[in-house]
Amino acid sequence: MISKNDDINKAFSYFNKETYNSNIYTIALLHEPDLVDKISSNYDVDLYLAGHSHNNSINYPWGGSPYKINGALKYNEEYYEIGKAKLFISSGIGTNGNGIRLWCLPSINFFRLSNE
């Protein structure tokens, strides 16, 4: 991880309170998608929304990427299912500091949530 100061338990302290409502739909917004494993091992989340990887920034047209960054080594593509949860990673509109973006479409994501 990029930051060694993440405090998942503090961020999810609501889940440990007596007033916790287990019937709510839980969304976790995080920058580094690889944090999902640390969160999912202790907390039930329905939807993860992340960024950071820019979906690898550099992709081969036939699939795969020669380039991965810390914090997005495991989860770096657009979509994953992790147990019952869904993880969406935005490719964003910029670059990872290398100034290069090949075969990686930029994205600004819109999500509509419904109870249907």
Q: Fill in the amino acid letter for 76.
A: N
- 47-102: per-residue pLDDT in tens? 999 998 888 888 888 877 877 888 888 998 899 999 999 999 999 898 877 788 88
- The reported pLDDT for the residue numbered 13 is 86
The secondary element (H helix, E strand) that includes residue 89 is strand 85-89
More confident residue, 1 or 30: 30
pTM: 0.86
Phi, psi for 10 (deg, rounded to 5):
-70, -45
The proportion of the chain whose per-residue pLDDT surpasses 70, expressed as a percent, equals 97
